[in-house]
Amino acid sequence: MAAKKQPEQALVEQWRDILALHARTQCEVDRALHGHGLCASDFEVLDLLAEGAAADGGSAYRVQEISDRVHLSQSALSRLIGRLEKDGLVERAMCPEDRRGVRVVLTAKGRALHGEVRPVQRAVLARMLTETD
């Protein structure tokens, strides 16, 4: 029985190490972006919007597409998008093909801020994810 516990315990410890690395990295990204008025989750949404085309090939993403890519509840994502919109970084509009859907697009101000903070976030990731204990 003890032989079964050992691999299982190693798996649990590996999982806990992953969670700890995620938490440390998230905190470091939050600290680095704070001076720019962003947190890690804000940046993730801006980064997704800046990175490429939505599933339909356009530049605007449906909120559901964003939700599928960032790890936030629908209500938390809605509040985050509302904050970004209030700050002039994104715009929301109704989906022309589905009036129940909402599309989000990066504004020029959002694109500029993303370009400014992207190297900061990437530097934190490089440092945190290549460090050895």
Does pLDDT of 1 surpass 90?
no
67: domain CATH number? 1.10.10.10
The predicted structure's pLDDT at residue 65? 87
Kind and range of the H or E run holding 93: strand 90-94
The predicted structure's pLDDT at residue 131? 73
CA dist., res. 39 & res. 22, Å (int): 15
In a domain, 3, yes or no: no
In a domain, 23, yes or no: yes
Average pLDDT over residues 105-121: 95
The predicted structure's pLDDT at residue 113? 97
Write out pLDDT tens, residues 49-92: 998 755 555 578 888 889 989 988 889 999 999 999 999 999 99
Q: Give the strands of the sheet with 90-94, arranged side by side.
A: 61-62, 102-106, 90-94
Domain count, the chain: 1
CA distances from 133 to 10, 33, 71 (A): 17, 24, 27
In a domain, 45, yes or no: yes
In a domain, 103, yes or no: yes
Per the structure, the complete domain to which residue 52 belongs is given by 8-130
